Amino acid sequence: MSIPILRSGCGSLQGILYQSYTPKVLNAAIEIGVFEVLANSHLTLAAISDALQTDSHITEGILDVLITVDLIEKKNDVYRLTLVSKDYLLKDAPASQLGAIQRYSGSAGPFDRLVEIVKTGSYNFDFGIWSTKESISGLEQFNRGGIIQAVLTFVRSTPEFENCSNMCDFAGSSGYFSYAFLHANPNLRSHVYDLPKVCVLAKEMKREEEDFDRVTYHGIDINADESFGGDYDFFFSSQFLYEFNYKNTLGAFFRRVNASMKPGGLLVSNHVAPSENRREQLNVCLLELMTRVMGYPTHQLPEEDLKEALSEAGFGRFRTEVISDVTATPYLLLSAVKLRNM
């Protein structure tokens, strides 16, 4: 696999794209009455959603975005307006800018139906969005912009990697991460597990790829409790475990992973983590709200949740690194070793 050599980070460019959605979120907040409801009161999330008759999970996502741009403040779980909002975002404020703001809106995109969705909730995520040739190559291209390079550097720096020979790339799409690992380790073979439709397309799309014969694709629906093989000394999972954590089933999933691995085997996770960094926070909140609006529960996996679930499932010897300079949102890379059978 030829991995692009990059001379710059993609984060500031991606940041421009995320932040182009900020006016959409602001307009939706104005339209549903977020600022008016807080005009004379400091309220909890439950009280705000009650008063606005909105879905609280998505309302919270909107409020988090507004906090990062200093239009709302939150203290001890209570939300209130900032001075800027009091001066410019209330209908009856003498210098109200609502008219001007409403004339601006972001580009077309995931927030076009934000007002409708915050009122009704959105819980029908389309898992088929990753099952087209366009979305599979879109995901690969996105990751070639610095993430594959950073993940590969991290994985190569783990002492276990050079001795690995049998890996599982779980929910691996067309296996673009696998091909990078195979290029770096000539003794490695990979088993890529993903939805059956994705695997059919992946085989077709990757058949000319160097190392294609070292990859086996397995169509699976993990929610149907199907097996994902065994005897792995390297288990890789990227951008897939969020829902397990949200539903408190991450520990159970890692126990299944434990059973599929040899003792001493290496596990590596690559997921977006919450950020304390001011530059990244708005992007993280916009990505999170976008995800909730699309009906998927969350796009963040905190380090402590990952470590807790892995520890309970017999893993330890954690190493972590945060990729933040090449992307708009921080990715937490975590490696762990299987210490015992469960």
Ligand X SMILES: C[S@@+](CC[C@H](N)C(=O)[O-])C[C@H]1O[C@@H](n2cnc3c(N)ncnc32)[C@H](O)[C@@H]1O
> CA-CA distance, 91 to 294, in Å (whole number)?
30
Residue with tokens 């087209």: 132
Tell whether residue 220 is a contact of ligand X (CB under 6 A): yes
- Closer by beta carbon to ligand X, 205 or else 339: 205
Of 7-15, 30-38, 116-124, 238-246, the window that binds ligand X (rule: CB under 6 A) is 238-246
For residues 18 to 57, the per-residue mask of contacts with ligand X, x marking binding by CB under 6 A and - elsewhere, is: ----------------------------------------
Tell whether residue 149 is a contact of ligand X (CB under 6 A): no
Of 34-42, 118-126, 160-168, 219-227, the window that binds ligand X (rule: CB under 6 A) is 219-227
**Can you tell me whether residue 331 is helix, strand or coil?**
strand
- Closer by beta carbon to ligand X, 122 or else 238: 238
- Closer by beta carbon to ligand X, 39 or else 222: 222
Of 169-177, 273-281, 284-292, 330-338, the window that binds ligand X (rule: CB under 6 A) is 169-177
Q: Within 217-302, where are the H helices?
A: 242-246, 250-259, 278-293
Neighbours of 226 (CB within 10 A): 11
* 116-145 positions binding ligand X, by CB under 6 A: 127, 130-131, 139, 143
* Closest residue by Cα to residue 101 from 58, 125, 69, 75: 69
Tell whether residue 240 is a contact of ligand X (CB under 6 A): yes
Among 173, 291, 300, 324, binds ligand X (CB under 6 A): 173
- Closer by beta carbon to ligand X, 242 or else 315: 242
* Closest residue by Cα to residue 152 from 172, 179, 173, 171: 179
The type of residue at 6 is: L
* # binding residues, ligand X (CB under 6 A): 18
Tell whether residue 194 is a contact of ligand X (CB under 6 A): yes
Tell whether residue 239 is a contact of ligand X (CB under 6 A): yes
Among 222, 259, 294, 339, binds ligand X (CB under 6 A): 222
List, in sequence order, every residue forming a beta bridge with 75; answer none if it has no partner: 78
Tell whether residue 260 is a contact of ligand X (CB under 6 A): no
Q: In this structure, are residues 10 and 146 in contact, taking their beta carbons and an 8 Å threshold? A: yes
- Closer by beta carbon to ligand X, 117 or else 171: 171
Residues that bind ligand X (CB under 6 A): 127, 130-131, 139, 143, 171-173, 194-195, 198, 220-223, 238-240
